[in-house]
Structure 1
Amino acid sequence: MIPVVGVEDQTIAVLGLGRSGKATAAALAAGGANVIAWDDGNDTREAAAADGLQIVDLTKDANWHGVTTLITSPGIPHLYPKPHPIIAKAYELGIPVDNDIGLFFRSYATAGWDEFDRAPRVIAVTGSNGKSTTTALIHHILQETGRPTQMGGNIGTGVLSLEPAEDGEVVVLELSSYQTDLARALTPDVAVFTNLSPDHLDRHAGLGGYFAAKRRLFAEGGPDRAVIGVDEPEGLYLAGQMSMSPADDRVIRVSSGQKLDRAAWSVFARKGFLSEYRKGRQAASIDLRGITGLPGAHNHQNACAAYAACRAVGLAPRQIEAAFHSFTGLPHRSQTVRELNGVRYVNDSKATNIDAAAKALQAFDRIRWIAGGLGKEGGIAALQPHLDRVTKAYLIGHSARDFALEIGQTAYEVVDTMEAAVARASAEAEPGDTVLLAPAAASFDQYPNFEKRGEHFTALVEGL
């Protein structure tokens, strides 16, 4: 646990008592704060009270007396579509609102660091797609090269549940827009922006608000190095904002598909090869084509971002390349489950939106595509240009019949359930085919989350 600093004898209110909320309450108490807590769910409140938390009804004005700060969980709206009533009350009373990310960045560094030979560092990763894989890949590379490292944030351990820093340690954090939007302190040593595509637009009042939430990690965080994907206009803009001149190598530009040989420092992937350029000259090259855990152009972009972040903390190209080959990927993200009778089965249950599904479809040939679930606004018609590699689609869930109307001339079968989809796809697949779960839809019609959907697919495939 990382005790929160600067809160001794203060009354701090915590809103939301899920995993991060309970960890935050414990870290605040460890820092000497008087913690009061509230959650909208009665069962959650009762469980927290049983764990010893002081439950105080923050819907009542009288209970705000003496509160100096409100700490809210990331999933609770603080501005759009409208602030949660308790957050709105804090605004009205002039009480600062923060989250666990802000508390982490103001508490991680301690006076004990003066005794270390190498100061610990923080790499923070944000973006729309690929940030979990990029975060996990950076963490894996650091582990493989013997650097002390921890991983947390939106993946793995909550930030305040991490252990205090070791000499030379690198903490790798995945940060969502929900987390970066509100944090009052953001001070990573290396900040990574993977890419941008429309997501969470209601929470941020549109694409501009969504990008602004991501941008805070850079504009307000002031990282020593900024690793920025420049395949979208927003990334190009952000790289320009962070650079003092074309020769400024504090910004490492990253691309999948573009040759970037004019920037002061760049890492890009083309035709399956990663290249690092510095001051117009190639510094390193890695063949990514045979790396099973990083299939497709979208994972090559993740590899470039992870490579750049690891170079920024002093790792050598050959160290990074060796670690790439032992990376197995994350569950539910282009995860090869098994190969059976010459057929590859891939679980990309995390591909819940159009952009992620398009990238998954571009990563494989001769695809038997399992898609569907609870469709999102706009449908999947935009995927038609990416369906040339699909031999047949097997459509499941609430939006299966809607999807059937939007995939053009692609052969399909409405099978409704995952069991039927896996059975039909495996029965019809031929050697060299890939059975790909890339739903392009949310899971909530049939599963509590995308993880459970992917686990069901995996269990069915392993049972073939």
Structure 2
Amino acid sequence: MPVTVVLGLGRSGLGAARLLSRQGADVLVLESGEGPEHQRKAEGLRAEGIAVELGRPLTPDSFEPLLATCERVIVSPGIRWDHPTLDWLRDRGIPTNGEISTAWEASQPTPWIGITGTNGKTTVTHLVAHLLEQGGLDAPMCGNVGHSAAELALERFQDGQTPPQALVVELSSYQIESALELAPAIGLWTTLTPDHLERHGTLENYRAIKRGLLERSAIPVLNADDPDLCAHAASWSNVRWTTAESREAALGKGIDPWLWIEGDQVMHSSGALLAADALAMPGAHNRQNMVMAVAVGLELGLSGPSMEAALRAFPGVPHRLELIRNLDGVAWINDSKATNYDAAEVALRAVEGPLVALAGGEAKQGDAGAWIAALQRKAKAVVLFGAAQSHFQELLHASGYDGVIECCDDLGAAVAAAQRLSQGGDCRAVLLSPACASFDQYRDFEARGEHFRSLVLCLKRN
């Protein structure tokens, strides 16, 4: 019998394996690890009739015995799409698909709202899901945030169940490159700055992956305030541009916006829609995020007043400029989602200084100049932790940063140092905005942010 092989026992792999099994596929999960957690997950799948083999690395040797029966390999986002073993499989005629493909297949014809971008996509995804929920639409959120898309498809697309009216799906470049069949009803592209170049090689490759999703979208929505997207505006047609600036400013860049802000109102060609200050999240970038989310709501029939009321009730996004507490007059803010220099620089612009910044983790490629300049302007002290601490210390010294720099092995020590450095009366905030991936010490940025929250909530008043 033909076998579908799923790689890995992570969240995506588990969801894909269960979804495919429910659809009648003969599924085999291969996992390179053999630890207690892998054993626990494997036993859970085996109890459901899904075969699992542990200690099977992603090498041709692991697949040699399967070549005669393997009809498809499902790849989790964490595995490089150009991994030599995946290329070896393709050379032998075995299709490879991303986990997101299984959800796309299972959910059709339910329309997808696909949201991508270097920065901003998580906030926009949460905003869109919130607007649609408050507007009475059944449009759950999944993908690169919350549930994996396969997990949600498993939960919501069962026989006899009423399917959702839409899916709000955050899509990373890793997911998009592994699922070229994705064609959202509405596609949103928030920003583009250099990121994941260690995986994609060049900015041009990275851009092309994101662009492909938008070109396949029935209604593409782009952020006219992003410099890279704006620089390529002439190459697009039939795109809905949004801006947090005036229509005149957008026209000056050669873009005729579909939504814009004039004075204190979000505007459409039909007139004013809602108050521009409806969203309480700080920072000009969040006005851009808001206008993009409003574009989706408008397309799906929501009124301006209903969206304004929903935006005013928006609780914020975990790990993205999330206020944990105020302690001794200092705001402690969790921005663990800032996994690159650009996102961390945006956070520094949004938070009132002077502040103490916490940064570190697994460093990425990119230009740190704007981030370091923002630290010079806003941060009286920088506390560095994790694998990148020495590298960041060198960058700060080379730039002439004149604040205090402290290095710590882990986040616990960094939080203690930050509390000490924030004392003295002039500090307004302590900001965790790492400018790094989390994989040196955490499974993901969410685990890092949760640890920060728990540490901060345990701090004692002075």
Q: CA RMSD in A?
A: 2.8
Q: 2:219 aligns with which of 225, 233, 247?
A: 225
* One-letter amino acid of the structure 2 residue matched with residue 15 of structure 1: L
Residue in 1 that maps onto 2:419: 423
Say yes or no: does 1:99 pair with 2:98: yes
Say yes or no: does 1:76 pair with 2:95: no
The 2-side partners of 1:308 and 1:181 are apart by 26
The 2-side partners of 1:103 and 1:402 are apart by 45
The 2-side partners of 1:256 and 1:348 are apart by 22
Higher deviation after alignment, 58-67 or 356-365: 58-67
Conserved 8 A contact 2:225-2:243? yes
CA separation of 1:408/1:282 partners in 2, compared to 1, >3 Å: closer, same or farther?
A: farther
Report the 3-state secondary structure (helix = DSSP H, G, I; strand = E; otherwise coil) of the residue aligned with 2:258. Answer: strand
Report the 3-state secondary structure (helix = DSSP H, G, I; strand = E; otherwise coil) of the residue aligned with 1:20. Answer: helix
Say yes or no: does 1:141 pair with 2:131: yes
Residue in 2 that maps onto 1:156: 146
The 2-side partners of 1:412 and 1:299 are apart by 30
Q: How far does residue 318 in structure 1 lie from its aligned partner after superposition?
A: 1.5
The 2-side partners of 1:256 and 1:367 are apart by 27
CA separation of 1:108/1:414 partners in 2, compared to 1, >3 Å: closer, same or farther?
A: same
* One-letter amino acid of the structure 2 residue matched with residue 134 of structure 1: V
Residue in 1 that maps onto 2:298: 311
Residue in 2 that maps onto 1:454: 449
Residue in 1 that maps onto 2:406: 414
Residue in 1 that maps onto 2:336: 349
Q: How far does residue 452 in structure 1 lie from its aligned partner after superposition?
A: 3.7
Q: How far does residue 238 in structure 1 lie from its aligned partner after superposition?
A: 6.3
Residue in 2 that maps onto 1:67: 70
Residue in 2 that maps onto 1:214: 210
Conserved 8 A contact 2:356-2:418? no
CA separation of 1:446/1:159 partners in 2, compared to 1, >3 Å: closer, same or farther?
A: closer
Q: 2:185 aligns with which of 173, 176, 189?
A: 189
Report the 3-state secondary structure (helix = DSSP H, G, I; strand = E; otherwise coil) of the residue aligned with 1:260. Answer: helix
Superposition pairs of residues 11-410 of structure 1, within 5 angstroms? 11-43=3-35, 46-50=39-43, 51-52=45-46, 53-55=50-52, 59-79=62-82, 83-85=83-85, 87-109=86-108, 120-162=110-152, 163-164=156-157, 166=162, 169-219=165-215, 221=216, 223-232=217-226, 234-236=228-230, 240-243=234-237, 248=238, 251-257=239-245, 259-260=249-250, 265-268=257-260, 273=264, 275-278=266-269, 282-288=271-277, 291-292=279-280, 294-374=281-361, 375-377=363-365, 380-387=368-375, 389-397=377-385, 398-399=389-390, 401-410=393-402
- Give runs of ≥4 in structure 1 deviating > 6 Å: none
The 2-side partners of 1:171 and 1:60 are apart by 35
The 1-side partners of 2:135 and 2:33 are apart by 44
Report the 3-state secondary structure (helix = DSSP H, G, I; strand = E; otherwise coil) of the residue aligned with 2:240. Answer: strand
5+ long unaligned stretches in structure 2? none
The 2-side partners of 1:274 and 1:386 are apart by 30
* One-letter amino acid of the structure 2 residue matched with residue 212 of structure 1: A
The 1-side partners of 2:218 and 2:287 are apart by 24
* One-letter amino acid of the structure 2 residue matched with residue 352 of structure 1: T
The 1-side partners of 2:198 and 2:214 are apart by 23
Conserved 8 A contact 1:337-1:345? yes
Q: How far does residue 296 in structure 1 lie from its aligned partner after superposition?
A: 0.3
* One-letter amino acid of the structure 2 residue matched with residue 312 of structure 1: E
TM-score by length of 1: 0.83
Conserved 8 A contact 2:144-2:172? yes
CA separation of 1:333/1:429 partners in 2, compared to 1, >3 Å: closer, same or farther?
A: farther
5+ long unaligned stretches in structure 1? 1-8, 111-119
Say yes or no: does 1:437 pair with 2:432: yes
The 2-side partners of 1:440 and 1:403 are apart by 13
Q: How far does residue 297 in structure 1 lie from its aligned partner after superposition?
A: 1.4
CA separation of 1:34/1:456 partners in 2, compared to 1, >3 Å: closer, same or farther?
A: closer
* One-letter amino acid of the structure 2 residue matched with residue 95 of structure 1: I
Report the 3-state secondary structure (helix = DSSP H, G, I; strand = E; otherwise coil) of the residue aligned with 1:59. Answer: helix
Conserved 8 A contact 1:415-1:421? no
Q: Deviations over 1:34-73 (max 9, x none)?
A: 1122122233764454221323666242321132221111
The 2-side partners of 1:359 and 1:233 are apart by 14
* One-letter amino acid of the structure 2 residue matched with residue 355 of structure 1: D
CA separation of 1:345/1:407 partners in 2, compared to 1, >3 Å: closer, same or farther?
A: farther
The 1-side partners of 2:423 and 2:346 are apart by 26
Report the 3-state secondary structure (helix = DSSP H, G, I; strand = E; otherwise coil) of the residue aligned with 1:125. Answer: strand
CA separation of 1:10/1:445 partners in 2, compared to 1, >3 Å: closer, same or farther?
A: closer
* One-letter amino acid of the structure 2 residue matched with residue 152 of structure 1: C
Q: How far does residue 409 in structure 1 lie from its aligned partner after superposition?
A: 4.5
Task: Give the fraction of aligned pairs with identical amino acids, expressed as a percent.
Answer: 33
Report the 3-state secondary structure (helix = DSSP H, G, I; strand = E; otherwise coil) of the residue aligned with 1:405. Answer: helix
Answer 1 or 2: which has greater helix percent: 2
Q: Deviations over 1:262-302 (max 9, x none)?
A: 8565234588x563333xx64434232x743x210122221
* One-letter amino acid of the structure 2 residue matched with residue 458 of structure 1: R
Higher deviation after alignment, 99-108 or 67-76: 99-108
* One-letter amino acid of the structure 1 residue matched with residue 381 of structure 2: A
The 2-side partners of 1:109 and 1:376 are apart by 36
CA separation of 1:388/1:304 partners in 2, compared to 1, >3 Å: closer, same or farther?
A: farther
CA separation of 1:443/1:168 partners in 2, compared to 1, >3 Å: closer, same or farther?
A: closer
* One-letter amino acid of the structure 1 residue matched with residue 101 of structure 2: G
The 2-side partners of 1:436 and 1:419 are apart by 10
Report the 3-state secondary structure (helix = DSSP H, G, I; strand = E; otherwise coil) of the residue aligned with 2:423. Answer: helix
CA separation of 1:329/1:93 partners in 2, compared to 1, >3 Å: closer, same or farther?
A: same
Conserved 8 A contact 2:113-2:186? yes
The 1-side partners of 2:432 and 2:446 are apart by 12
Question: Number of aligned pairs?
Answer: 429
Report the 3-state secondary structure (helix = DSSP H, G, I; strand = E; otherwise coil) of the residue aligned with 1:305. Answer: helix
Q: How far does residue 11 in structure 1 lie from its aligned partner after superposition?
A: 2.5
CA separation of 1:312/1:265 partners in 2, compared to 1, >3 Å: closer, same or farther?
A: farther
CA separation of 1:376/1:421 partners in 2, compared to 1, >3 Å: closer, same or farther?
A: farther
CA separation of 1:264/1:233 partners in 2, compared to 1, >3 Å: closer, same or farther?
A: closer
* One-letter amino acid of the structure 2 residue matched with residue 334 of structure 1: L
Q: How far does residue 95 in structure 1 lie from its aligned partner after superposition?
A: 1.3
Report the 3-state secondary structure (helix = DSSP H, G, I; strand = E; otherwise coil) of the residue aligned with 2:52. Answer: coil
The 1-side partners of 2:375 and 2:166 are apart by 41
